[in-house]
Amino acid sequence: MTTTHRTETIERTLRPWGWYETVSEVAGNKIKRIGVLPGQQLSLQKHHQRAEHWVVTQGTVRITLDDQVFELTQGQHCDIAVGQVHRLANLTTEPVEIVEVQFGAYLGEDDIVRLQDDYGRQ
C-alpha cells in the first residue's frame, strides 16, 4: 500500500479575537480552523447565504444560537441555519479551536451581518 502525503501552506488570518485558516474551499462549501483567544469572542452575527456546522476540537466554548446559550467541549458540535443569530466565545483561560464547515451558494466574508461586536467592526 502506498501513502501519499500532501503538504500545503495554509495562510492564517489574524483577527482581534484570534485567527482562522481556510483548510479547503470548493463550490458550495468551505472548511476553516478557528482559534479563539482566552476571554475573547466573535461578533454576534448572522449570514443570509450560508449555513455552518461547528465542531469543537480543543477546549470549551460558549455558543449563542438565537436566544439559547450553552457550552460545548471537545468532540461536541452544533449546526447554525441560514439567518440564525450566533456567536462563539471563549470564557476560559486557555485557547480554544473549532472546525467550521460552511454550506451555501455564496461563502464570502462579506456575508457576515454583525449585530454586536466588541471590536467596533460593522
All structural domains of the chain with their residue ranges: 12-110
Residue 114 has pLDDT above 80, yes or no: yes
Query: Rounded to 5, what percent of the chain is helix, strand, coil?
Result: 0, 55, 45
Residue 2 has pLDDT above 70, yes or no: no
With H, G, I as helix, E, B as strand and everything else as coil, classify residue 110. helix
What letters, b where the CB count within 10 A reaches 16 and e where it falls short, cover 9-26? eeeeeebebbebebeeee
What is the CATH number that goes with domain 12-110? 2.60.120.10
Residues forming a β-bridge with 4:
none
Short-list 45, 37, 1, CA closest to 16: 37
Q: What percent of the chain has pLDDT over 90?
A: 84
Residue 3 has pLDDT above 90, yes or no: no
How far is the C-alpha of 122 from the C-alpha of 114, rounded, in Å?
6
Nearest 5°: the CA angle 81, 82, 85 is 75
> What pLDDT was estimated at residue 115?
93
State pLDDT tens for residues 57-96. Answer: 999 999 999 999 999 999 999 999 999 999 999 999 999 9
